[in-house]
A and B are shown apart, each in its own frame.
Chain A
Amino acid sequence: MTQYETPHWDPLLKLLAEYLVADFMWMHEVELKDGTRLHAYKIFSGDATLRLRVTPRSYTMQTMPSKHPRIAVTADPELGEALARVRAATGTREADATLLRRLAVEGAEAELEAGRNRRLDAEALFEAMDSAQFDLDLAAVDRLNAPPAA
């Protein structure tokens, strides 16, 4: 793979009408051993990847069915702003999908870690209660909940 930053649409536009090209996303550019440059495009409605030479005298299409299911994520303004903030803060140049996946994996671990920390803090609070650092009037709670006298 030679690059995945700068989209190149000409090979596809030589094959398809512009309105059809809108259904594709450019993925990356590959240079073969013989110097042939290929651009990979993926159609939004499936997992097929179309690989075209810069001069489309010929082309090959390979299907690349992923063995893993896909997750649809709506690229709403909130998500866009979140990714933009991460890019601004870290300077990362990862593609959106790559960045999103990494943040999801790291975010899941951060979420679990936060839960473990919450539990540790609460356990410390109960230990403090157990070690007489609190004046909990438990008898008052019992009196409050006692059934009314007959």
Chain B
Amino acid sequence: MTVRLWDGTGPVLADTSAWMQARRDPKARSLLLAAIERGNACWCWPVRYELMVDARGPEGIAAVERTLDGLREIQVGRSVQRAVLSTMRELAAGGSHGAHRYPLTDLTVAAAAQDAAIGILHFDQHLERLGDHLGVDVRWIAMPP
């Protein structure tokens, strides 16, 4: 498998897994912070939900809100929701039993990125497969295990 590692350039939709990896990997954190400063890191609603759910209380929630409010939002509208459904249909038709059963957040992130014509920054092999299926540029924020 060829690992497509992010070089820190270009606008990207940062998946929750990218934020989590940046939490523990100084190099990944440095790259993500630089992209945030340039205005190149984007968010979408499922990622915001996940980061907020992981916060233990109001202070953590406020930190998520302040950070994401300053970044570009990738819209998750009706067309993206429709794209999630059609992606599941395609995966189910083209694979083995349960081939469409991806986490809904990953499906939505991938469909939103496709709709906005933007790449995905991640640390989640589900998004590698979804990106390949949808023709979305997907990049690891760090070398996978």
List the B side residues contacting A132 at CB < 8 Å. Answer: 56
**Cross-chain contact of A142 among B36, B55, B71, B145 (Cβ < 8 A):** B145
A13 to B55, CA, bound (A): 72
Cβ B145 vs Cβ A146 within 8 A:
yes
**Cross-chain contact of B29 among A126, A134, A142, A146 (Cβ < 8 A):** A126
Which A-chain residue is minimally distant from B103 (CB atoms)? A144
Cβ B22 vs Cβ A128 within 8 A:
no
**Cross-chain contact of A123 among B23, B33, B145 (Cβ < 8 A):** B33
Cβ B60 vs Cβ A141 within 8 A:
no
Cβ A141 vs Cβ B39 within 8 A:
no
Q: CB-defined interface of A82-117 with B at 8 Å, one 1/0 digit per residue?
A: 000000000000000000000000000000001111
A88 to B67, CA, bound (A): 33
Asked whether A149 is an interface residue with its Cβ less than 8 Å from the other chain, the reply is no
Asked whether A18 is an interface residue with its Cβ less than 8 Å from the other chain, the reply is no
Which B-chain residue is minimally distant from A147 (CB atoms)? B145
Asked whether B132 is an interface residue with its Cβ less than 8 Å from the other chain, the reply is no
A136 to B123, CA, bound (A): 14
With A133-B60, A134-B54, A134-B60 as known contacts, state yes or no: A115 contacts B23, CB within 8 Å: no
Cβ A118 vs Cβ B23 within 8 A:
no
List the A side residues contacting B23 at CB < 8 Å. Answer: 126, 129-130, 134, 136, 138
Asked whether A5 is an interface residue with its Cβ less than 8 Å from the other chain, the reply is no
Within the complex, the shortest CB–CB distance from B48 to chain A, in Å, comes to: 12
The secondary-structure label for the interface of chain B is helix
Cβ A144 vs Cβ B124 within 8 A:
yes
**Cross-chain contact of A128 among B38, B60, B124 (Cβ < 8 A):** B60
List the B side residues contacting A147 at CB < 8 Å. Answer: 145
Within the complex, the shortest CB–CB distance from A146 to chain B, in Å, comes to: 6
**Cross-chain contact of B125 among A115, A117, A135, A144 (Cβ < 8 A):** A144
A138 to B23, CA, bound (A): 9
Asked whether B126 is an interface residue with its Cβ less than 8 Å from the other chain, the reply is yes
Cβ B55 vs Cβ A134 within 8 A:
yes
- List the 5 closest A-B pairs by CB distance, nearest first: A133-B60, A119-B37, A118-B70, A125-B63, A128-B63
Interface residues of A (CB under 8 A from B): 114-119, 121-126, 128-130, 132-138, 141-142, 144-147
Known pairs A121-B63, A133-B63; list 20 more (Cβ under 8 Å): A116-B37, A119-B33, A119-B36, A119-B37, A121-B70, A125-B63, A126-B22, A126-B23, A126-B29, A128-B59, A130-B23, A133-B59, A134-B55, A135-B56, A137-B54, A141-B17, A141-B21, A142-B145, A145-B124, A146-B145
